[in-house]
């Protein structure tokens, strides 16, 4: 699934609820999901199934925020990460070498 397809799916499913909740409360949900992911990483043995679910939630809430802000995430990601490091223009990045 392309990023734009997922963003559209999230919009179809949740936009009305997200709009009622608003940007600030939606952001708080995202932060809570990041906290749940952090807790899953702190365990001695990481539960990969749980970690993958938390990452999926983080991406979903990020898409909800993008929809509320009318940001095309696929376009934003392509501009920010054009297939090479923006600093050193290399792939992979060699900035720390």
The per-residue pLDDT for 77 is 96
Which CATH number characterizes residue 55's domain? 1.10.287.1080
Q: What is the pLDDT of residue 94?
A: 94
Residue 11 in domain:
yes
Range of the domain at 36: 3-80
pLDDT on residue 96: 84
Q: Residue 44 and residue 71: Cα distance in Å, rounded?
A: 38
* pTM of the entire predicted model: 0.89
Supply the pLDDT for residue 2. Answer: 95
Please calculate the CA angle 72-81-2 and round it to the nearest 5 degrees: 50
Give the C-alpha separation, 4 to 18, whole Å. Answer: 18
**87 is a domain residue:** no
Contacts of 74 (CB under 8 A, 6+ apart): 2, 3, 4, 7
For the chain, 97 residues long, the average pLDDT of each consecutive 10-residue run is: 97 98 98 97 94 97 98 96 92 89
The number of domains in the chain is 1
Helix (H), strand (E) at residue 60: helix 48-68
């Amino acid at each position: 699934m392309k990023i734009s397809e997922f963003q559209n799916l999230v919009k179809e499913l949740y936009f009305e609820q997200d709009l009622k909740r608003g940007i600030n409360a939606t952001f708080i949900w995202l932060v809570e999901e990041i906290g749940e992911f952090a807790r899953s990483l702190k365990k001695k043995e990481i539960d990969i199934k749980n970690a993958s679910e938390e990452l999926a939630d983080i991406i979903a809430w990020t898409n909800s925020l993008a929809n509320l802000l009318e940001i095309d995430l696929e376009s934003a990601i392509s501009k920010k990460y054009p297939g090479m490091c923006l600093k050193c223009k290399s792939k992979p990045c060699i900035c720390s070498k």
